[in-house]
Amino acid sequence: MLRSALVGGVFGVLLTTVPVVAHHSTASYDLVHGTILDGVVAGFVWENPHVHILLDLANEDTMEHWTIELESPGILLRLGWNKDTLKQGDRILVAGGRAKNGSFKLRAAYVQLQDGRKLLTLPPPEN
């Protein structure tokens, strides 16, 4: 009995030292119906767990301030991005899934730069 308690205790300690990998759900975004935004970069936040673009869209009478969520810096580096890819004042197109609650949030699928290049923001599907 003492041995099983000891083994259980050691096993419990080992479990607490295993790194926990968090998954950030995309359930709050409508990934079926695409949205394309054309705006000006107000900020580019290169940080874990997700990179964000702050995008301003000028409408007829109002200015909309959008938050665009991308993948992690590590994934974006593999897709050709870096912390200097976007600068404040850059005009871009962003395609992705809008927040289901109607807020000014979008999960990006790609970003098109002014020179016409499209940068993926999601890794391509694996075979």
* pLDDT of 124 higher than 60: yes
Q: Does the domain made of 29-120 have the CATH classification 3.40.50.10490?
A: no
Phi, psi of 17 (to 5 degrees): -95, -10
Dump pLDDT digits (tens) for 36-92: 999 999 999 999 999 999 999 998 899 999 999 999 999 999 999 999 999 999 999
Number of H helices and E strands in the chain, helices first, is: 2, 6
User: Which pair of tokens denotes residue 108?
Assistant: 């990006």
When pLDDT is cut at 50, 70 and 90, the band that residue 25 belongs to is: low
Q: Cα(121)–Cα(76) distance, rounded to whole angstroms?
A: 6
User: Which pair of tokens denotes residue 48?
Assistant: 């874990």
* Cβ(42)–Cβ(86) below 8 Å: no
The percentage of residues in the chain with a pLDDT greater than 70, rounded to a whole number, is: 78
